[in-house]
């Protein structure tokens, strides 16, 4: 069984702020943005730009959702930094950085496939360096199911209704106890660059015969949540950025799971080269399937 990998010592929370307070803010901000992208979605979705390839889109609502998150964060925590998928980053002075994905699963959102989320996390350390940061609070809001999945460091992982009036009875999350690859339902995802996809397909040729089955949902944040709630046994993918995994990483760990990267030291942390999430008895087995010449750092997914 694999314990959570050792991480470099990181800064502590600033004086006067608690994990519980940060978790509450994550829930509020993610929920407000989730309501916005669901309730204000135009009938005809506009594509504002492309990112890594023609299949990797940035919708107008991506940008508007990130603008909303920036306003909410800066009103509540004006000294904190912000790192977001759409690139409007803010340098902070407090030692805390908000890592946000305004719509994780943009293509699903564009096509009205009900599998997308808003991911909001607070981290300590340098969120743009491999292994140099850790989430301390986070929330993944699912607009379609009107749920928010959230965790704070040491507070457990929970699913709550979107409606604050119903939030008195959250459900605690717990990862699957599966310990055999042959019985593992594995979630994964693909990048947008054609060459990256080709390499990921080669990896799956090796992986698929070893597991029960594979699910490709299209949202890294929701994949990680599904590991935390035990509706899939494991998740593995290359090419993730901090905003793809920050909140979900913490939700998995607080649900009793382990989230690891490709190697040792700083590279034991999840990131572009590899992100694997599973229960302690399974995580090393899944990582072994993905570590190899076909698992280089890849372009991020949306």
222: CATH: 3.40.190.80
Measured CA distances, 92 to 78, 215, 225, 228 (Å): 8, 38, 28, 31
Q: What is the pLDDT of residues 185-222, one digit of tens each?
A: 999 988 777 877 888 888 888 899 999 999 999 999 99
Query: Are 51 and 164 contained in the same domain?
Result: yes
- The answer to whether position 298 is within a domain reads no
Do 28 and 141 reside in the same domain of the chain? Answer: yes
Contact partners, residue 186, CB within 8 Å, separation at least 6? 207, 211, 212, 213, 214, 215, 232, 233, 234, 235, 236, 286
The rounded mean pLDDT for the chain is 88
Please check whether residue 2 lies inside any domain of the structure: no
Do 113 and 142 fall within a single domain?
yes
Looking at the structure, tell me whether residues 134 and 89 fall in a common domain: yes
Are the beta carbons of 110 and 103 closer than 8 angstroms?
A: no
The number of helices, as runs of H, and strands, as runs of E, in the chain is 7, 14
Mean pLDDT of 252-275: 91
Q: Is the residue at 71 inside a domain?
A: yes
pLDDT of residue 15: 83
Are residues 62 and 48 in contact, defined by beta-carbon separation less than 8 angstroms?
A: yes
pLDDT bin (cut points 50, 70, 90) of residue 175 is: very high
pLDDT at position 294: 40
Boundary residue ending a domain (138, 172, 206) = 172
**102 in the same domain as 30:** yes
Residue 8, pLDDT > 60, answer no
Read off the CATH number of the domain in which 41 is found: 3.30.540.10
* Mean pLDDT of the 28-52 span: 82
- What confidence score (pLDDT) does residue 265 get? 74
168 and 194 part of one domain:
no
Q: Does position 174 have pLDDT exceeding 60, yes or no? A: yes
Residue where one domain finishes, among candidates 117, 150, 172: 172
Stretch among 68-82, 162-176, 200-214, 269-283 having the lowest mean pLDDT: 162-176
Alpha-carbon radius of gyration of the chain:
18
Q: What is the mean pLDDT of residues 40-65?
A: 72
List the single range of 76-90, 233-247, 281-295 with lowest mean pLDDT: 281-295
In a shared domain, residues 26 and 57:
yes
Domain containing 62 equals 19-172
Report the distance separating Cα 221 and Cα 103, nearest Å: 10
Does residue 293 register a pLDDT over 50? Answer: no
**Angstrom distance (rounded) from CA 255 to CA 238:** 22
**Which has the minimum average pLDDT: 79-88, 133-142, 165-174?**
165-174
Query: Percent of the chain at pLDDT above 90?
Result: 65
**Beta carbons of 82 and 89 less than 8 angstroms apart:** yes
Residue 62 sits in the same domain as residue 194: no
Q: Which residues contact 253 (CB under 8 A, 6 or more apart)?
A: 4, 151, 157, 259
| pLDDT, mean of residues 85-103 | 89
Q: Is pLDDT above 50 for 300? A: no
In this prediction, residues 27-38 reach a mean pLDDT of: 97
Q: What are the tens digits of pLDDT across the range 67-91?
A: 999 999 999 999 999 998 777 789 9
Distance from the first to the final alpha carbon of the chain: 32
Question: CB neighbours (10 Å) of residue 71?
Answer: 12
pLDDT at 52: 62
How far apart are the C-alpha atoms of 85 and 58, rounded to whole Å? 10
State the Cα–Cα distance between residues 108 and 67, nearest whole angstrom. 21
Given 115, 147, 172, which residue is the final one in a domain?
172
What is the domain count for the chain?
2
CB 30 within 8 A of CB 79: no
Q: What pLDDT band is residue 56 in, cutting at 50, 70 and 90?
A: low
The sheet carrying 213-216 orders its strands as 213-216, 185-188, 234-237, 275-278, 258-260
CB distance 212 to 187 below 8 Å: no
Are 29 and 146 part of one and the same domain? yes
**Are residues 168 and 23 part of one domain?**
yes
pLDDT at 163: 85
Portion of the chain with pLDDT greater than 70, in percent: 86
- Tell whether 233 and 125 lie within a shared domain: no
The rounded distance, in Å, linking the Cα atoms of 288 and 166 is 42
Domain assignment present for residue 13? The answer is no
Q: Do 73 and 195 have their domain in common? A: no
Query: Taking the alpha carbons of 253, 259, 263, 267 in that order, is the dihedral positive or negative?
Result: negative
Please check whether residue 74 lies inside any domain of the structure.
yes
């Amino acid at each position: 069984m694999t314990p959570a990998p050792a991480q470099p010592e990181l800064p502590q929370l600033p004086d006067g702020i608690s994990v519980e307070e940060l978790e509450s803010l994550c829930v509020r901000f993610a929920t407000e943005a989730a309501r916005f992208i669901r309730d204000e979605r135009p009938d005809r979705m506009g594509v504002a730009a492309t990112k890594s390839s023609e299949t990797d889109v940035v919708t107008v609502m991506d940008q508007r959702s990130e603008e909303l998150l920036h306003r909410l964060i800066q009103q509540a925590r004006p000294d904190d930094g912000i790192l977001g998928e759409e690139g409007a980053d803010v340098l902070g002075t407090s030692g805390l950085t908000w890592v946000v994905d305004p719509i994780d699963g943009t293509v699903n959102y564009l096509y009205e496939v009900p599998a997308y989320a808003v991911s909001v996390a607070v981290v300590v350390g340098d969120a743009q360096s491999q292994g140099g940061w850790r989430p301390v609070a986070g929330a993944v809001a699912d607009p379609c199911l009107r749920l928010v999945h959230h965790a704070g460091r040491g507070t457990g992982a929970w699913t709550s209704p979107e409606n604050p009036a119903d939030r008195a009875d959250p459900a605690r999350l717990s990862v699957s106890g599966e310990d055999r690859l042959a019985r593992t339902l594995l979630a994964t995802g693909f990048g947008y660059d054609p060459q990256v996809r080709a390499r990921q397909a080669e990896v799956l040729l090796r992986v698929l015969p070893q597991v029960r089955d594979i699910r490709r949902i299209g949202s890294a944040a929701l994949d990680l949540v599904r590991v935390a709630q035990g509706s899939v046994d494991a998740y593995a993918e290359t090419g993730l950025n901090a905003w793809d995994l920050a909140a979900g990483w913490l939700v998995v760990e607080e649900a009793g799971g382990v989230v690891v990267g490709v190697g040792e030291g700083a590279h034991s942390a999840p990131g572009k080269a590899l992100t694997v999430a599973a229960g302690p008895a399974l995580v090393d087995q899944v990582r072994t399937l993905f570590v190899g010449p076909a698992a280089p750092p890849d372009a991020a997914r949306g």
